[in-house]
Amino acid sequence: MQIYKVGGAVRDRLLGKPVTDIDWVVVGATAEEMLAKGFRPVGADFPVFLHPKSGEEYALARTERKSGRGYGGFTFHASPEVTLEEDLIRRDLTINAMAEDDQQNLTDPYHGQRDLEDRFLRHVSPAFAEDPLRVLRVARFAARYAELGFKVAPETLELMRQLSESGELEALTAERSWKEISRALMESQPQVFIQVLRDCGALKVLMPEVDALFGVPQPEVHHPEIDSGIHTLSVLEQAALHKQPLTVRWACLLHDLGKGLTPEEEWPRHIAHEHKGLKLIKAVNERFKAPKDCQELALLVGQYHTHGHRALELKASTLLELLQSFDVYRRPQRFEEFIVACEMDARGRKGLEQRSYPQADYLRGAASAARGVAVQPLLEKGLKGPELGEALKRERLKALKAYKESASS
């Protein structure tokens, strides 16, 4: 029995990056031998075991063969005869197909170390094209390592293109797709993930609503970058630069989908794109079964982001409606995430990345003024039910009018 550290742990050590998860491969062993040593079995599909003390995963060396569509369409074969090289060749990228023994002696049959040095994300073998999930994984790695100068190798991008055109991407489950998408959006350069998907034709399959934004112009006076797709990538980039959470990044990706529906004769203006985009945002949310908080914020940002930009001009009554839509009294954090999403939208424009956004503090102040209205005096007047609700609304409107006056003076 020989045990090797494999995959990401080896890759990241060689890159000088922190190693978080460690995967191990066991060569020359049987499941019975692993159980005899106290390892606990997990997973029904292939022999993976948890170490009795560390809890880390140890997998028996295995080969795999395509047996059906999609991510799960594989038959695995594990036996003591499977070599380390045979196990490594089934992996996705050369940089993930290296192994180390306990003396840090490197096994690198597919030149992963060379690709690390040359900054290439390159597939290990033609079998790469058998697993559609690898399109998303490679795009995610591109987003993670873009800051180090990594690019997808041209021949790998071509295989990803073939996969995108094959119909295999449609076999991916919503859960698997969302897991990759959500992880990719939280990388340091999530806009690279979207760009790579577009480069290989996967974006128009997975998110045709986002793909449709590219080539759609906007008024240059507000959008020096002009192209709606480029703007979306820039907004996502700003969200990552400002360390925003997944909810905000998802909303940033989907906020302008309505612009893809504008008839060409109306370009570059996009009247009512906020409202038109809601059905598209809802469709993308449902396609990937995004978490509820991501779904809700994306819809609210889509509908109200131009309200955010025009905050200083809004009437007190419109401000109140905006605050009510977000339920700022019970869910203040959601309104805060809306504000920062609007700010990322304002900064995601060519040459305006450092612009100030006074609307943010203005909206925070408005929310504070509305929340500051006390309910107790109204209860003491004997008001309840709809009457209480209307009285509360009147008092909050009064507070917002006073706030607007003080803010403009």
Span 172-183, average pLDDT: 97
254 within domain boundaries = no
- In the structure, what pLDDT confidence band is assigned to residue 67 with cuts at 50, 70 and 90? low
End-to-end CA distance of the chain: 78
The Cα–Cα gap between 196 and 233 comes to: 12
14 within domain boundaries = yes
Taking 60 as the threshold, does the pLDDT of residue 327 lie above it?
A: yes
Structure confidence at residue 68 (pLDDT)? 56
Residue range 7-49, pLDDT digits in tens:
999 999 999 999 988 999 999 999 999 999 999 998 666 689 9
Cα of 70 vs its chain's centroid, Å: 21
Q: What CATH number does residue 2 fall under? A: 3.30.460.10
- In the structure, what pLDDT confidence band is assigned to residue 63 with cuts at 50, 70 and 90? confident
- What is the token pair recorded at 280? 């598209």
DSSP line for 118-162: HTEE-BSSGGGGG-THHHHHHHHHHHHHGGGT-EE-HHHHHHHHH
Global pTM reads 0.93
223 within domain boundaries = no
Residue range 338-365, pLDDT digits in tens:
999 999 999 999 999 999 999 999 999 9
3-state secondary structure of 355: coil
- In the structure, what pLDDT confidence band is assigned to residue 409 with cuts at 50, 70 and 90? confident
The Cα–Cα gap between 250 and 266 comes to: 27
Task: List the one residue out of 297, 257, 252, 306 whose CA is nearest residue 281.
Answer: 257
The Cα–Cα gap between 280 and 146 comes to: 29
96 within domain boundaries = yes
396 within domain boundaries = yes
Taking 90 as the threshold, does the pLDDT of residue 308 lie above it?
A: yes
Residue range 187-198, pLDDT digits in tens:
999 999 999 999
Q: Which residues fall within 8 angstroms of residue 259, CB to CB, at 6 or more apart?
A: 213, 216, 218, 228, 270, 273, 277
Q: Which residues fall within 8 angstroms of residue 211, CB to CB, at 6 or more apart?
A: 198, 203, 204, 229
Taking 80 as the threshold, does the pLDDT of residue 70 lie above it?
A: no
65 within domain boundaries = yes
- In the structure, what pLDDT confidence band is assigned to residue 78 with cuts at 50, 70 and 90? confident
Q: Please indicate whether residue 20 or residue 177 has the higher confidence score (pLDDT).
A: 177
Taking 60 as the threshold, does the pLDDT of residue 153 lie above it?
A: yes
Domain boundary (82, 109, 136) is at 109
Lowest mean pLDDT among 69-78, 214-223, 381-390: 69-78
324 within domain boundaries = no
The answer to whether the beta carbons of residues 103 and 14 sit under 8 Å apart is: no
Taking 70 as the threshold, does the pLDDT of residue 224 lie above it?
A: yes
The answer to whether the beta carbons of residues 210 and 194 sit under 8 Å apart is: yes
Taking 60 as the threshold, does the pLDDT of residue 6 lie above it?
A: yes
- In the structure, what pLDDT confidence band is assigned to residue 84 with cuts at 50, 70 and 90? very high
Upstream peptide bond of 47 is cis (omega within 30 degrees of 0): no
Structural domain count, the chain: 2
Mean pLDDT (the chain) is: 94
CA dihedral 86, 87, 93, 97 (to 10 degrees): -100
The H-assigned helical ranges of 16-93 are 31-36, 84-89
347 to each of 134, 169, 267, 284, 344, how far by Cα in Å? 32, 33, 22, 24, 5
Q: Which residues fall within 8 angstroms of residue 11, CB to CB, at 6 or more apart?
A: 95, 96, 98, 112, 116
The H-assigned helical ranges of 212-315 are 228-241, 246-254, 273-276, 278-287, 292-309
The Cα–Cα gap between 275 and 288 comes to: 21
What are the φ/ψ torsions at residue 327 (nearest 5 degrees)? 50, 55
Tell me the residue range of the domain where 381 lies: 373-408
Taking 70 as the threshold, does the pLDDT of residue 73 lie above it?
A: no
Structure confidence at residue 14 (pLDDT)? 96
Span 91-117, average pLDDT: 96
Span 126-155, average pLDDT: 96
Tell the residue number behind the tokens 């302008």, with chain if given: 256
Domain boundary (109, 141, 162) is at 109
399 within domain boundaries = yes
Q: Please indicate whether residue 129 or residue 343 has the higher confidence score (pLDDT).
A: 343
- In the structure, what pLDDT confidence band is assigned to residue 69 with cuts at 50, 70 and 90? low
Residue range 247-287, pLDDT digits in tens:
999 999 999 999 999 999 999 999 999 999 999 999 999 99
Span 369-378, average pLDDT: 93
What stretch of H or E contains 323? helix 316-326
Domain boundary (85, 109, 133) is at 109
Burial of 409: CB neighbours in 10 Å, binned 0-12, 13-18, 19+: exposed
What are the φ/ψ torsions at residue 381 (nearest 5 degrees)? -80, 0
* Burial track 173-188 (b if 16+ CB lie within 10 A, e otherwise): eeebbbebbbbbbbbe
The Cα–Cα gap between 332 and 339 comes to: 11
